[in-house]
Amino acid sequence: MNVDIKADATLKDFWQDNGRFADLFSQVFFGGEEPLDPSKLSDQDTDESAVLMGKEKIASITRHRDLIKEYGEDAEFVLIGLENQMRIHYAMPVRTMVYDALRYVKQCKDLENQNRKGKVLKGSDEFLSGMTKEDRIKPVVTLVIYYGERDWDGPVSLEDMMDIPDKFKKFINNQTLHLLRVRDAKGFQFKNQDNRDFFTMIDEIYNNGGKVDLKSFKEKYPDFEIYWETLAAIGAATGTMELVEYAYGHKGGRLNMCTALDNLKQEGIQEGIQEGKMKTIQETVTLLRKLNLDDDNILWNLQETYHISEEEAKNLLAD
């Protein structure tokens, strides 16, 4: 089955859910002590484009966030952005700073348009900025999730990207990167089941060199069930697009993880047979028999060489 869907789109869809989103930020920002209410989240336009006008030049800047939501509590509002990062980005503090700055520019422009249309501006100072003294913009905070297996060795602040003379350090407006390394997420106590499954399974895969040890997995999680969308997001985060395809092919509810992995493995064997790999397997069997190896040794070699189960190897040996 071929599913025409990108990894970044899969992860955006996963975190679009307010329950997962609220739990993620509650744990990462507040250690779970100040849980965010999912019902107080609302989706916002991810377009961060802005037109900057100067005396002699007009410049257009176009950027698109992965996700941004507004959180409102007691008539106070915060804009919360999320960026999915598959690889290390050595200018990430600047990149997030641009996103945040453009959102502030957009808010100021919206207020200016409202004020000029409503004719509420008074005095030259308000006419100059288009804003009144009482106008307020909403704060913006951005979290970057890094899904890579490698340790993040990029900067985590604007100052990390600079060599600053000591006498100027106190004057630099530093931009700190709020970064969640997916390998470090095991320290969080996620309340949302999908979030727990998501980070647990990613850690399981990375601890085994980017693959799932099916035998070990069955022993540790014999009856493990997972929501199909979570399985798709795990595949997207780890670059295992076969999991994404399988999840979208069985979407609609919870899936038994062991059954899913078994099916994926069997599908891979069938595809290999269809692509002509069966001939290679039979040639291997013929060669091993010429070397006077017994069936037990041939079975072991087939399992190790083609990464198949003992039962599958026996079926191939019987053909």
pLDDT 10s digits, 30-53: 998 989 999 999 999 998 877 666
Structure tokens at 16: 């679009």
Around Cβ 107, how many Cβ atoms within 10 Å? 17
Give the residue-averaged pLDDT of 187-194: 94
pLDDT at residue number 47: 84
pLDDT at residue number 58: 63
| Residues 6 or more apart whose Cβ sits within 8 Å of residue 16 | 43, 67
Give the residue-averaged pLDDT of 1-11: 73
Q: Any idea where the domains of the chain sit in the sequence? A: 7-191, 276-318
pLDDT at residue number 59: 67
Q: Among 53-57, 93-97, 109-113, 132-136, which is the least confidently predicted range?
A: 53-57
In 3-state terms, the chain is what percent helix, strand and coil (to 5)? 55, 15, 30
Cα-based distances in Å from 172 to 12, 60, 93, 145, 165:
34, 26, 14, 26, 10
Between helix 295-306 and helix 277-290 the angle, nearest 10°, is: 140
